[in-house]
Amino acid sequence: MPLSAPIDGFRLAHDRTGPPTGPPVLLLHGWPGDRTDHAGVAERLAGTGHDVVVPDLRGFGGSDKHDLDPARYYGVDAQARSVAGLLDELGLRGVAVGGYDIGSRVAQRLAADRPDLVRALVVTPPGPGVGARILTEQPMGEFWYQSFHRLDLARELVDGDVGRVRAYLRHFWTHWSGPGFTPSDDRLDHLAAVYGAPGAFVASIGWYRAVASVVGRFLGETAPAPADRIAVPTRFLWADADPLFPREWSDRLGEFFSDVTVVPVDGVGHFVPVEAPEVFADALAA
């Protein structure tokens, strides 16, 4: 498992499969997962001749997990810097980038900050434009975990205890998945192992601890001027069984992207690349 050169002192563990002369693809995972979330997607793309790079983000899997100020080292800007550094190191340009959950946000920032690297995006929610809808009853009942992650109590109750980590992650993998998907025991055991080492869980939630307010992440978004919208072609794979992001929240994407298409994915929950890897792979190949 190679490690990238450090950016801000963080190295990214990553896998690379497929022919190095093929069309380049970068796959970014979400929380609570790691780079193995994209195993099915990577296998399909590598098998059709793509050069596929799949890193663990800062604080996840085999990547570095430094106990540093989250606002400086674990937010979207920092994560995008590490991913851009990896692509620069590998000499890749014109990359099709796929991401879900946190990986989606990082992919969007990468496309905004380094359009020279990105040819196209295939992402799942979250997308911009949610606004005050995050404050309604149903979303607030789902997003409790983001406030919990900002408390020291998260470290005290969960971090470093493999059994508690497994039970905690099992809740999200079962609650957020679609009706036809159940995470296997092997899958949960793997995630419990990588999240259960001392300091690993806290590193993984650095994303949530990096902002002053988790609600403010949604409320603070303002549409840019047309010239400043993300210009690369973007497809949002929007699942109908994701309890976090109802499909009607896709209505303002055109204010933030110059070329965006919403692709409905039915019968699937939050973990689109895990639950429907063929859908995710086909969108990237296209």
Residue boundaries of the structural domains of the chain: 14-285
Q: Is 208 a catalytic residue?
A: yes
Which two structure tokens, joined as six digits, stand for 276?
A: 């429907």
- The answer to whether residues 139 and 133 touch, using CB atoms and an 8 Å cutoff, is yes
Question: How much is the pLDDT for 214?
Answer: 67
Mean pLDDT of the chain: 95
| Tens of pLDDT, residues 24-60 | 999 999 999 999 999 999 999 999 999 999 999 999 9
In angstroms, the first-to-last Cα distance of the chain is: 29
| Tens of pLDDT, residues 186-231 | 999 999 999 999 999 999 999 999 986 767 777 778 899 999 999 9
Band of the pLDDT at 173, cuts 50, 70, 90? Answer: very high
Q: Given 100, 168, 195, 208, which residue is catalytic? A: 208
For 119-133, what is the mean pLDDT? 94
For residue 74, give the amino acid letter: Y
Assigned CATH for 14-285: 3.40.50.1820
Q: Given 29, 38, 149, 270, which residue is catalytic? A: 270
Which two structure tokens, joined as six digits, stand for 168?
A: 């905690």
Q: Is 195 a catalytic residue?
A: no
Q: For residues 278 and 274, what is the distance between their CA atoms, to the nearest angstrom?
A: 9
Q: Given 34, 64, 101, 159, which residue is catalytic? A: 101
Share of the chain above pLDDT 90, in %: 92
Q: For residues 64 and 74, what is the distance between their CA atoms, to the nearest angstrom?
A: 11
Question: How much is the pLDDT for 1?
Answer: 80
